[in-house]
Amino acid sequence: MDAKILIVDDSRTVRAVLKRTIQLAGFDASGVREAGNGLEALTALEADGADVVLTDIHMPEMNGVELVQALRANPKFAEQAIVVISSESTEERRAQLLGLGVKHMLSKPFTAESIRSVIVDMMKVQPS
């Protein structure tokens, strides 16, 4: 499957693990790009866009929640498909992200199947 996927996480290792999981889920690795924080993600999206953004929450410079807020405030990315992946899965956080229009929040540990499922769902709902 082809999809333009942007991984946003401050850990190079976590990005590598996620990229490999995305490959195991059946997606072409050539469509996967990486950003180390929210600011880098905004730059990458402005340059090349993405079908789906997979982002962590806790990052330096600009965290995942701030990234979502910045995207929603920009008409160009107001409908951007976003999946938040985090070990933090409190009801409070889920409610906050839902309020920002984030439909999918994956709790760690994630599986290749759960990654595949959310990406397919996001692309179906919001085709590029």
Partner 1 sequence: MKISAERLEELVVSTLEQHAFLFADPCPSEGDNADDSEANVSGVSFDGGVSGRLSVRFPRELAAEMASNLLGMEEGEPIEDELNQDLVFEFVNVLAGRVLSEMSNEGRALRIGPPVWVGVGQPKDADAERHTVNVAVDEHRVEVILELVGV
Per CB under 8 A, residues contacting partner 1 are 11-14, 16-17, 20, 58, 86-92, 107-109, 111
In the complex, least distance from residue 91 CB atom to partner 1, rounded to whole angstroms: 8
* Cα–Cα dist 114/36, whole Å: 23
Of 60, 19, 65, 67, nearest to 42 by C-alpha is 67
**Beta carbon nearer to partner 1, 12 or 76:** 12
**Beta carbon nearer to partner 1, 61 or 79:** 61
In the complex, least distance from residue 77 CB atom to partner 1, rounded to whole angstroms: 28
**Beta carbon nearer to partner 1, 72 or 93:** 93
Residue type, 81: A
In the complex, least distance from residue 43 CB atom to partner 1, rounded to whole angstroms: 23
